[in-house]
A and B are shown apart, each in its own frame.
Chain A
């Protein structure tokens, strides 16, 4: 076979077919649209993470999520928190991104079936700052809190999970709530 113009066109077009088969936009969007329920959160990891998150967004996902990718692939995507990290040797930015993943998953678990007050009861148990711990950290300094509330009932312990107010929920009640929602599993 002589390598003429038609051969070159064949090679170029077959190469394009190979690239199309691995093109993250189309295949991720199509995979996303095949699932029957919008996920609670989306976490996209790796060099194609930005394209994959964008594809999910274009596929109708209107929730929040995280994108963790490399510097050269980093871009902002509406509604997603986007992290650029070192690859293949991790750096501190990777640690920050990993913590963001943990927080997102924890929040997503808490959000599943708990109202805002119940969620905050649990959050206050585990946070380093919530449930009055910021006040403990700052004591004996004077603390003045300015609160803007979007929480039903305007309970100070629920606004920002009450970093500088006393937690009124007994530990036994919090434990019962955790068991009720199956958060003690695993």
Chain B
């Protein structure tokens, strides 16, 4: 999940929702989702308190909730880089772009980026480690 936001991982069943109702409403309108017949009545019900809205930060329901992110793209990238660093301590790491898209296309894009750096490194080893946004 981009940014590893707990409220986005599995849509955050046990974390507070930080997005104000007005922002969510604007998003719904922007994408035309208010045309779906069940959307506006439900939003209205949340507004007037007859339907449960998302739970907000500070609510005592979270007093005994612990959240631990066990794994993320960033941790996986770090593990790959650590492996390379141990195997080749003189490795130079290029700044890695965030990736978002189809993996096979991203691989071609990255390979081109790595090759384009060749003349800048004069035979010294360099690596680009990325994956995920």
Chain A residues with CB under 8 Å of chain B are: 1, 10, 13-15, 17-24, 27-28, 31, 45-46, 186
Contacts and interface: CB of A to CB of B under 8 A. Distances in A.
B124 interface: yes
A22 B71 contact: yes
A14 B71 contact: no
B77 interface: yes
A186 B62 CA distance: 12
Contact of B80 (A17, A23, A27, A186): A17
Interface in B55-73: 60-61, 68, 70-73
B10 A31 contact: no
B125 interface: yes
Nearest to B72: A22
A1 B79 contact: no
Given A21-B71, A21-B75, A13 B13 contact: no
Contact of B79 (A21, A28, A45): A21
Contacts of A186: 60-61
28 contacts: A1-B123, A1-B124, A1-B126, A10-B88, A13-B83, A13-B87, A14-B81, A14-B84, A14-B87, A14-B129, A15-B80, A17-B79, A17-B80, A17-B82, A18-B76, A18-B77, A18-B131, A19-B76, A21-B75, A21-B79, A22-B72, A22-B76, A24-B71, A28-B70, A45-B13, A46-B10, A186-B60, A186-B61
B7 interface: no
Q: How many B residues are at the interface, by size bracket?
A: 20 to 34
Contacts of A19: 76
B68 A31 contact: yes
Nearest to B60: A186
Contacts of B84: 10, 14
A18 B82 CA distance: 9
Task: Name which of A14, A22, A28 has the most chain B CB atoms within 10 A of its CB.
Answer: A14
A29 B40 CA distance: 43
A39 to B, nearest CB: 12
A15 B110 CA distance: 15
Contact of B78 (A15, A21, A28, A45): A21
Given A1-B124, A1-B125, A21-B71, A10 B78 contact: no
A14 B76 contact: no
Nearest to B111: A3
Nearest to A16: B83
A95 to B, nearest CB: 13
Contact of B76 (A1, A13, A21): A21
B121 interface: yes
Nearest to A48: B71
B71 A27 contact: yes
B6 to A, nearest CB: 13
Interface in B108-128: 121, 123-126
A10 B70 contact: no
